[in-house]
Each structure stands twice: as structure tokens, then as C-alpha cells.
Amino acid sequence: MLKPEANELVTRTGPGTPMGALLRRYWIPFLLSAELPEPDCPPVRVKLLSERLLAFRDSDGRLGLIDEFCAHRGVSLWFGRNEQGGLRCPYHGWKYDVTGQCMEVPSEPVESGFCRKIRLKSYRCEERGGVIWAYMGAPADEPPIPAFEWMSLAASHRYVSKRWQECNFLQAMEGGIDSSHVSFLHSGDLHTDPLHKGTKGAHYQRDRKPTFEVIESPGGLHIGARRNAEAGHYYWRITQWIMPWYTMVPPYGDNALNGHAWVPIDDENCFTWTFTYHPVRPLSEAELAAMRQGGGIHTELIPGTFRPAANKDNDYLIDRAAQREGRTYSGVAGIAMQDASVQESMGPIQDRAKENLVSTDNAIIMARHRLRRAALAVANGETPPALAPECHRVRSATFVLPAGVPFATARRDALLAREGVAPTSI
Ligand code: FES
Ligand SMILES: [Fe+2]
């Protein structure tokens, strides 16, 4: 349970909020490279942490993320002309480069130097792993680029998608932290989805009463969920949570690894990023085809948008017959939309004063606490955790251990990203 003030603190991420100040200390994945495919391509409207911005790629391929609105009289530069090293406002021709610097004010004499005094807000961008990242904090605090394993793999080994989710980022991320829901919400799919069925992991999740052991890691939490396996043994699923908004899903069999980033658009919307990757092999045509069709934990989108085809306006295409017959547990098809439907149903920002938490929510309690602590620390001038690339070089894992053996010491190796070594997964 969180009192209203505490809930405000962890869910509000706009400029001037403590959580907003914390999140601005991290690199933020915000566009697929394919959204800005080539020099001088059309710009893209971006809303991040409640700021309205515009991303573009100039004639030399340089990336810019600048204030969406022209410094002259506030026209949206989305209507601008991307030409010859800058973006030109279509109203009176003021032109800006990728740093937001005004390059030209056609009405004023060049000698006046007027345009040099005009500069739009801008944030630095970097491109890694097929994703464009922004840093929105103070330049002096800029951390190294994140070092998630999927970012440095060959493009053939990964598949990245994003979808718009119509709720606050925290309740979406809490779904990624909470692996106890898998035995219910996703139970129908574990035996039918092409990327889950037939694995031992899908079989062991019939035990619907996992016991959790949560351990602080340098970058966040190792979340161990233990279920009964063969006599005297436990089946462990280890989820990683990495500050501030990354989760890694425990794997199944030889399937690829999966991770998410839950990035606030504003306080009532977020982007759910999904990263699927295999550290030692290319993804197969069958896997890619399944994901493109919304399989695994990806989803089908309305063409030309990032809005899922099943969304709150059509009740996520709920199928009560499928629910009754257990083909899907909730009646909503697909793991991603099962998650989105329940998380969005909590309302744009969940009222955590009304919740009743139980022991399987321990990891959620710890993550909230860690975020809150970090936000307060940053407000006191301290450096936030998980900026160091080592914090990102972790993996989710699944394995069986004899009862009584602590997972984090027995399988320390399995929790680290190791180049050229296959994931630990059953
Ligand atoms: S409003 Fe942009 S140039 Fe006038
Ligand atoms: Fe889920």
C-alpha cells in the first residue's frame, strides 16, 4: 500500500518532479532506428517524461532531439522541412540544427547575428542495437551508454519492438517484476504459444504457489521465484529488474531471452519496449515470423502506429468462449495484451492506497522502495545507482536446484551475461 503522496512521488515523471529528475539521469530508449531510417527523412514527434520533443536525422545522418516548437511563434516543427543540415520551420523559414541552435532567420540581416542568440532545448542522442537513445539530464552528469547484452549482438540475433501502453509506467513495470501472475494470466498460452509450448518451464508453472526470494543486485534486484519440481528439487525462475525501468523475463528452453523497458511518455502513458535476443545464435525465420505476427511477448500493431490492434477501445477483443474453455486464461489473446489489458484496467495511475499486497508482491515493494530512495538521493545531490555498464550485464535464467540450495550463490554464473555462452534455461 502506498499513501497518495508516496504514490505521487514514484509515478510522476514530468520536469521538476523528484522521479523525473532521477529518470533524467539515465539514457532513455525512445525510437527504433527504423523510425528515422535515413538522412533528411521526415521528423518524428516524441513525447518523453511529459516533454514534447521532435526527433530528426539531418543531411549528414546526425540525430537531433529538440523542442517540438519553433522559437519564433511556436509552430510545431513536425511540419518542418528537413533540408541541408537542419530543420526549417514552414511558417517563416527559421532553421535549426540537431543541437537546437538556430542557423537562419531569413527576415533578419545576417550581420545582425540575431539567429545565434536563438537556441531550442535539445538532448543528445546515440544509436545502439537498432534503438535511438536520448539523455535528458544535465550534460555534466551524462553516464556511459548502457551495456545490455542485446545491444552489442549482431542484428540477426535480436528482434526489438515497442508498443504504446495506456497507463503509468510503474504499474506496467510492476507486471514485469511480478512473475507470480504467469501461472494464471498466461497459463493458457504457455502450452500453445510457439515460443513457449513444450518446454519444461511451461510444465513446472502448473505449481501456482511460487515462493519468492528477492536479493538486491548492484543494478536492481534478482527476483527468484521457486516452484516445486521433482521430489526434493525446486524449479527456479530468476527475473532481473534493473534500475530504473528494465525487466528481464525468465527464459524457456532454448528459446531466446526477453527483456522489457517501460518508458514514460507522460504520467498516463508509456512505451513498452520488448527486446528478444539469443546470445549465441541468430533468431530463426520461424521465430521472427512468429514475433512479427505478434507471437511471444510482442504484439500486433495498428499499421503505421505503435498502438496494439487489441486495445482498450475494443476491450482487447476479449473472447469469453476462449476464457471459458481455458484456451486463454483471461479471454484476451497473446501474452503482451494479456499484460496490457490488466495493467491498463487499473486506471491511468493505479491508486495504491487501495491495494492489499501479499508475499508474492515482495519484489514490487522492494523496487518501489529502491526507486523512491534513489529519487530522494538524487534530490540530495547524490549519484543514482545502476549507471555503470556492469549493472546491465545480467541475464534472467531458469534452472532446477536441490531444495535448500540458495540460488544466487549456487548459480551466480547463470545470472551474468557471458559472451559466447548460452543462457541457462530449461
Ligand atoms: S513560427 Fe516558426 S518561423 Fe515563424
Ligand atoms: Fe505477463
- Give the 3-state secondary structure of the chain: CCCHHHHHHHHCCCCCCHHHHHHCCCEEEEEEHHHCCCCCCCCEEEEECCEEEEEEECCCCCEEEEECECCCCCCEHHHCEEECCEEECCCCCCEECCCCEEEECCCCCHHHCHHHHCECCEEEEEEECCEEEEECCCHHHCCCCCCCHHHHCCHHHEEEEEEEECCCHHHHHHHHHCHHHHHCCCHHHHCCCCCCCCCHHHHHCCCCCCEEEEEECCCEEEEEEEEECCCCEEEEEEEEEECCCEEEECCCCCCCEEEEEEEEEECCEEEEEEEEECCCCCCCHHHHHHHHCCCCCCCCECCCCCCECCCHHHHHHCCHHHHHHCCCCCCCCCHHHHHHHHHHCCCCCCCCCCCCCCHHHHHHHHHHHHHHHHHHHHHCCCCCCCCCHHHHCECCEEEEEECCCCHHHHCCHHHECCCCCCCCCC
Assess whether pLDDT exceeds 80 at residue 194: no
Assess whether pLDDT exceeds 90 at residue 193: no
Q: How confident is the model at residue 327 (pLDDT cuts 50, 70, 90)?
A: very high
Taking CA atoms only, the protein residue closest to ligand 1 atom 1 is 73
Position with higher pLDDT, 152 vs 179: 152
Rounded Cα distance, 419 and 405, in Å? 26
Taking CA atoms only, the protein residue closest to ligand 1 atom 3 is 92
For residue 19 and ligand 1, the question of a CB distance below 6 A is answered with no
Which atom of ligand 1 lies nearest, measured to the CA of 93? 3
Q: How confident is the model at residue 179 (pLDDT cuts 50, 70, 90)?
A: confident
Rounded Cα distance, 69 and 104, in Å? 16
Q: How confident is the model at residue 124 (pLDDT cuts 50, 70, 90)?
A: very high
Instruction: Say which ligand is closest to the CA of 343.
Output: 2
* Closest alpha carbon to 276 in 176, 156, 163: 156
Q: How confident is the model at residue 329 (pLDDT cuts 50, 70, 90)?
A: very high
Assess whether pLDDT exceeds 90 at residue 195: no
What's the pTM value of the predicted model, to 2 decimals?
0.96
pLDDT tens digit string along 261-312? Answer: 999 999 999 999 999 999 999 999 999 999 999 988 999 999 999 999 999 9
CA of residue 267 to ligand 1 center, whole Å: 30
CA of residue 188 to ligand 2 center, whole Å: 12
pLDDT of amino acid 241? 98
pLDDT tens digit string along 17-50? Answer: 999 999 999 999 999 999 999 999 999 999 999 9
pLDDT of amino acid 285? 97
pLDDT tens digit string along 59-98? Answer: 999 999 999 999 999 999 999 999 999 999 999 999 999 9
pLDDT of amino acid 263? 98
For residue 89 and ligand 1, the question of a CB distance below 6 A is answered with yes
pLDDT of amino acid 201? 82
For residue 90 and ligand 1, the question of a CB distance below 6 A is answered with no
For residue 91 and ligand 1, the question of a CB distance below 6 A is answered with yes
- Quote the percentage of the chain above a pLDDT of 70: 100
Cα-based torsion angle of the residue sequence 343, 347, 351, 354 in order, rounded to the nearest 10 degrees: -80
| CA separation, residue 49 to residues 22, 70, 207 (Å) | 11, 20, 39
